[in-house]
Amino acid sequence: MEIMKTLLAFIVLWPLVGFLVNGLGRNYFSKKRIAFYASEQIFASFIASIIVFILIKNNGAQGDITYFNFIHIGKLIIPFAFKIDQLSAIFLLIITGIGFLIHVYSAAYMQQEEQAHYGRYFSYLNLFIFSMLLLVLGANYVIMFIGWEGVGLCSYLLIGFWFKNDNYNYAAKKAFIMNRIGDLGFLLAIFWMIAKLGTANYSDVFSNVSQLSTTDITAITILLFIGAMGKSAQIPLYTWLPDAMAGPTPVSALIHAATMVTAGIYMVARSNVLYSLSEVAQNLVAITGLVTALFAATIAIKQNDIKKVLAYSTVSQLGYMFLGLGVGAYTGAVFHVMTHAFFKALLFLGAGSVIHAMHHEQDIRKMGGLKKYLPITHITFLIGCIAISGIPPFSGFFSKDEILAAAYAHNPVYWGIGVATAGLTAFYMFRLYATTFLGSFRGTPEQAHHLHESPSAMTIPLIILAILSVVGGLVGVPESLGGHHALHQFLSPVLLTEVKYETTHSTEYMLMGLSVAIAATAIVIAIVTYSKKPQISNSTGVGKLLENKWYIDELYDAIIVKPLGSLASFLKNVIEKSGIDAAVNGVGKLVNYSSRQLRLLQNGQVGGYILLMVLGMIVIVLIWVNDGYIYRFLMNLFFAK
């Protein structure tokens, strides 16, 4: 217990110390030292996380580990406590492991930055990891919320990292504000728990769930889910994530794979006891996830920015995870978080490598034929594309299959939409792959001259992630394919298993076969279509609609942002200035006028005030002299009983 307490404290504190040291010392340390120190802190956390994982695997989960009382007022106690169990142990590994690789990669990718900004970058990166660790380790919803808003802050700081560019600043602000909308839902859920149960500790809430009415549970779970929608970019709060690619590319990898967007999945999975008791909430989660998955995939088809395609693919994949959570496949969702972390980090870092080689060109229409210039990036990126498309035996296949199988058992329509989305996914990923790496180079001769493979600090993380993307699925091989699903067994103490819907093996084979066939067909079509000629022509009709992302940003602008701005202007210029303040000034003028008549304030207001004060004192004395007679008289006059 003591060992665990110390280990966890260090896991969280190392990144925090890294943030402080690099943040304060960014003007004094060399770039090499900054990068080394920041990465080393995360590596230390990673090693400690492995130890924690092994301890948990061997000894099982432990009770809450309390450090001190964060808030203690009467009966309300909110401890600063950590909960380490199978679920948080898995997330620890993902966060610190992938986080470390992204740190290493960043050391080379950000080399162009000035020293002070280089230090600032790495300190933010460390803070990001710190917040995310707090989020998954908290033993109650308040600590989770601290990390929750912490990652929101870090994404704000990193999206707006190049703060000279105002477009980036808007993107950063948008991310923070959209997240805050979700956060309000989260907060209200916490208040609801505290009002009903007097606690926000996971263990107390889950064990006293019988004291909650169905309405309570539904309200709490839906409010929590609103928080998840913001953080995990689900409809209607998803538009910040595609804009978030304004930040440096490794940051996108961090946000999309290791931290931030997986927080919503973690939260729902963590609260699975509550969600299982509310069918309404579960359906809401599943349908939101499904719609988001399909919707984002349609947008991704028409995007030409390499990072935007990946961003929409993340929104879409997160939709899958929520579909999984909604149909009760909690393990499947966590499994997909893990495999997605591998291949999405790989894809983003690969995209970073491409952008690095192309001197900050992100438009895939100006790329092409990069296969021969960037061999390692090419092969690893291809692996990422295969993995996300769900082709066996790559990791994405197993996790996606598990979610789809559960969806089928729940409702075949869910499955149908899920498979259609999988087809779209395979299509747009290979469109991206083919346009970027196949065919002939379409950039300027200048760019062609400078094309080069990235340094090893960037390619080694790519190779590691590629290996993980290939074999990562093996921890969850289903029974029907002769596996044991090790992950399922490991997580079983924390996550409820949906036993209501069991499918036969033959059905499962059929489902797998269908989805793989559809994905494979989509891949072939995409490669054939896009490897030779890039798609330059301007789209019309539906294509244009997709290219412009269904005009959702414009819609939000028209129905929320603009009206709110007009309302604010109206309040400021009309109500405040011509209404309330004018009325007050009117009264003031009246007083001024009458006072001039009385010549009381002739010598300026100060004199008048003092005179009035003195008069007041005389009145008090008079009142007292007459034993309060005058006062009583006046009072009776005004407040006759």
Partner 1 sequence: MISLLLILIPLFTGLLTFFLKQEKTAKNFSIFSSVITLGTVCIAIFFAQNNQLLFNTQWLPALGSRFSISLDGMSKALVLLTAISFPVVFIATYTNKYKSSHSFYALMLLTQAGLMGVFMATDALLFYFFWELALIPVYFLSSIWGGEKRIAVTFKFFIYTFIGSLLMLVGILYLYFNTVVPSFQIKDLLAAKISLKEQNILFWLFFIAFAIKMPIFPLHTWQPDAYEQSPTAVTMILSGVMVKMGLFAVLRWLVPLFPESAKTYSNIVIALSVIGMIYASLIAIKQDDIKRLIAYSSIAHIGLMCATIFTQTVIGTTGVMLQMFNHGINVIGLWIVADAIEQQLGTRKFSELGGLAQKAPSLAILFVILALANIALPLTNAFVGEFLMFNSLFQYNVWVAAIAGISIILAAVYTLNMVQKILYGNTVAATEKALDTTLNINWMLIVLVVIVFALGVYPQPIIDLTKDTVNVIVQNR
Q: What are the residues binding partner 1 (CB under 8 A)? A: 68-74, 76, 116, 142, 145-146, 148-150, 153, 156, 160, 163-166, 169, 173, 176-177, 180-181, 183-184, 187-188, 190-192, 194-195, 564-565, 567-569, 571-572, 575-576, 580-581, 584-585, 587-588, 591-592, 605-606, 609, 612-613, 616, 620, 623-624, 628, 631-632, 635, 639, 641
How far apart are CB 144 and partner 1 at their closest, in Å? 10
Distance (Å, rounded) from C-alpha 267 to C-alpha 263? 6
Phi, psi (5° rounding) for residue 299?
-65, -40
Nearest to 45 by CA among 88, 18, 77, 14: 14
**Closest CB to partner 1 among 505 and 572?**
572
Strands 65-73 and 76-82: antiparallel
**Closest CB to partner 1 among 207 and 578?**
578
How far apart are CB 74 and partner 1 at their closest, in Å? 5
Tracing tokens 């009117």 back to the chain, one arrives at 586
**Closest CB to partner 1 among 108 and 200?**
200
How far apart are CB 257 and partner 1 at their closest, in Å? 24
**Closest CB to partner 1 among 456 and 592?**
592
How far apart are CB 248 and partner 1 at their closest, in Å? 16
**Closest CB to partner 1 among 226 and 255?**
226
How far apart are CB 165 and partner 1 at their closest, in Å? 8
Distance (Å, rounded) from C-alpha 336 to C-alpha 343? 10
**Closest CB to partner 1 among 248 and 423?**
248
**Closest CB to partner 1 among 21 and 464?**
21
DSSP string of 506-528, one letter each residue: HHHHHHHHHHHHHHHHHHHHHHH
Tell me which long-range contacts 106-113 makes (C-beta under 8 A, separation of at least 24). 106/35, 106/248, 106/250, 107/35, 107/36, 107/39, 107/457, 108/454, 108/455, 108/457, 108/458, 109/248, 109/249, 109/250, 109/352, 109/356, 109/458, 110/248, 110/250, 111/31
**Closest CB to partner 1 among 230 and 443?**
230
How far apart are CB 110 and partner 1 at their closest, in Å? 18
Tracing tokens 């269908």 back to the chain, one arrives at 514
Q: How many CA atoms within 13 Å lie on the side-chain side of 555?
A: 9
Tracing tokens 């395979």 back to the chain, one arrives at 426
**E strand map for 134-182:** none
Q: Which helix (H) or strand (E) holds 312?
A: helix 306-326
3-state secondary structure of 26: coil
